[in-house]
Amino acid sequence: MKARVFVTLKPGVLDPQGEAVKHSLGTLGFAGVDAVRQGKVIELDLTETDSTKAEATLNDMCEKLLANTVIENYRVELLP
């Protein structure tokens, strides 16, 4: 089973990488970008075939390693 985990900064947390991207886009002539928030996507191949168990395992992985839950949100997506 394949899965994706989307990790993003919580609202209100400063995003210096996003600000750098925003600045660079302006420098390259891309006008009209008010804000940029940068995150990460993690793709996993799991041996688990039960979607309920897979989702529980993924949430556990996120809570323990993949996301810093103090400053980040995460969303788990199971792929067909």
Q: Which residue ranges make up each domain of the chain?
A: 2-79
Q: Give per-residue pLDDT as tens, 24-73.
A: 999 999 999 999 999 999 999 999 999 999 999 999 999 999 999 999 99
Among 78, 79, 41, 72, residue whose Cα is nearest residue 56: 78
Report whether 78 contacts 54 (CB < 8 A): yes
| Region 2-79: CATH code | 3.30.1280.10
Residue-level pLDDT at 41: 98
Q: What is the DSSP letter of 47?
A: S
